Amino acid sequence: MTGFTPVRVALRALGANKLRTTLTMLGIVIGVGAVIALMSIGKGAQASVTASIQSQGTNLLFIRPGASSQGGVRQAGGAPTLTIEDADAIAASIPTVSGVAPELGTVAQLLVRGQNWNTRVTGTNDEYPTVRNTNVASGEWFSRQQMDSRSLVIVLGDTVAKQLFPDQDAIGELVRVSAGGRTGSQFRVIGVTEAKGGSSFGNQDDQVYVPVTTLQARLFAQRNARGAPNVSTINVQMVNENAQAATIADIGELLRARHKVVQDDFTVQSQQDILNTLGQVLGTFTLLLGAIAGISLVVGGIGIMNIMLVSVTERTREIGIRKAVGARRKDILTQFLVESVVVSVLGGAIGVAMGTGISQLISRIQVPAQGGGAPQSLTTQVGLDSVLLAFGVSAAVGLFFGIYPATRASRLHPIEALRYE
C-alpha cells in the first residue's frame, strides 16, 4: 500500500456515512464555536476597560487620602488629608510632573425652568481638561482666575446638557445647583464637554464641573484635621511613564514634609497599576470562559471515540480482508486515526467560522447606557491566539480520542475478523 492509501480509504469511509460523520462533527463544531465566542467576549471586555481607563488621560498618578493620625492615634481609611495647597506644591516643586488637577465630588440636583437632573458635581481646576483628557465641545473651561475668585460658573457633561437643554444651546444659561440639603446657587453655564459615552465605569458624560473652590464654599465643605478644606483626589500627570518611580518618591517626600508625618497619610496609585490589576482579573475571567466552553470539546471528543468504536465493530470483516491481502498493522491504525482527526479538524474549522460569526453578532447588540446616554455596543475581540488554541485543541482531541479505536482495530487478528458476523 502506498503512503496515501490509508488517507484515501479513511476519507472514502467518512463519505460513505455522511449523516453519521456530520453528527459526530457537530460536537466539535459547537465546542470550538463556544470557545471562540466566549473568549472574544472576555477579550473584548478587557480591551473596553483598557480603552476606558486610557481615555481619561495618560501617564497618570492618583493620590488619595490614606490613614491619618490624631492625638497619637492612627486611623485607617479615607481620612481627609489632602488639600488644594498640596496639589499646588506638587505642581511647583516636582519637575517630572506636567499637570496637576485636584478633585472633589458630590451628588447634586440641577434645576432649570422646571427641568431637574441628579448628577455628580466634580470640583477641580483649570488643568483638569489636559490631565484627564476632557475636551470642551462648545464654550470654554473655567480659568484659574475664576477658580481663585470662586466664580459661579459650570461646565456641563454632554448627557446633562441634553437633559436640561434638549432644544437649545446651554451656553450662557443659568442652572441652580443644590447639594447637601442647601438651598443652592445659580451657576452660569460656560461650556459643554465632548461626548465620551458610557463605559464599565459609568457614563462619563453624566456629570458637571465647577471650580473646586466654589464647590467647597457653596456646595460641599469638608475639612481636614488642620481645618483646611480638603480634596478627595489629586490627579497628577507625569512627563512620561519612565519618570513614574522618581515622581512617586518625590511626591511621597514632599507630602510627608508638608503634613509633618512619618507614616504616609496618603496613597499613590498609578494608572498602569490599575490597568495591570484589571488585566489580570479579566484575563482570568477570559480563561475561565474558555475552560467552560472547552468542556464541550471533551464531550465532542468522547462522541468521536464512541462513533469510531462503532465503526470498528461494523467494519471488522473489512479489516480482516485488508489484513489478509497484505495491509499492515500501522496501515489500519493510520486509517482510523485519519478518520477521527479529519472529523475533528474539519469540525474545528467550521467551529472557528461559527464562533467568529457569533462574536460579530454579539458586537451588534445594543445595551442601554448608564445615566440615560446613548445605547452602547458590546465589545468583542477575536484573537489569533484563541483561534489557534481552539483549532489546535480540536485536532488534539480527535487524535487522542481516536487512538483507542484505531489501536483496537489494528490489533484484530485476520482470521477472527473474517469469521466475525
Q: Give a yes or no: residue 60 inside a domain.
A: no
Q: 2 is written with which cell numbers?
A: 502506498
Provide the domain count of the chain: 2
Q: Could you tell me how many residues make up the chain?
A: 421
Final residue belonging to a domain, choices 238, 264, 290: 264
Same domain, residue pair 259 and 300: no
Cα separation of 121 and 104, whole Å? 8
Same domain, residue pair 232 and 348: no
Cα separation of 160 and 150, whole Å? 22
Residue 189 has what pLDDT? 94
| Tens of pLDDT, residue by residue, the chain (421 residues) | 455 665 676 677 777 777 877 887 888 888 888 888 888 888 887 777 777 776 666 788 999 987 544 444 444 445 678 889 999 999 999 999 999 999 998 999 999 988 889 999 999 999 999 998 888 999 999 999 999 999 999 999 999 999 999 888 999 999 999 887 667 789 999 999 998 765 555 678 899 999 999 998 888 777 666 667 788 899 999 988 888 889 999 999 999 998 888 888 888 888 878 777 777 887 787 778 777 777 877 888 888 887 777 777 777 777 777 777 777 777 777 777 887 888 888 888 888 889 888 888 888 877 665 544 556 667 788 878 778 878 788 888 877 877 877 777 777 666 665 565 5
Using alpha carbons, select from 97, 95, 77 the residue that is nearest to residue 266.
77
Which residue segment(s) compose the domain that 166 sits in?
Answer: 67-264
Radius of gyration over every alpha carbon of the chain, rounded to an integer in angstroms: 33
Cα separation of 218 and 103, whole Å? 15
Cα separation of 305 and 6, whole Å? 19
Q: Give a yes or no: residue 62 inside a domain.
A: no
Same domain, residue pair 252 and 284: no
Cα separation of 37 and 363, whole Å? 11
106, with CB counted inside 10 A (0-12, 13-18, 19+), is middle
Element (H, E) at 311: helix 271-314
Q: Give a yes or no: residue 201 inside a domain.
A: yes
Same domain, residue pair 39 and 135: no
301, with CB counted inside 10 A (0-12, 13-18, 19+), is buried
Cα separation of 176 and 112, whole Å? 7
Cα separation of 184 and 118, whole Å? 13
Q: Give the predicted TM-score (pTM) of the model.
A: 0.67
Residue 5 has what pLDDT? 62
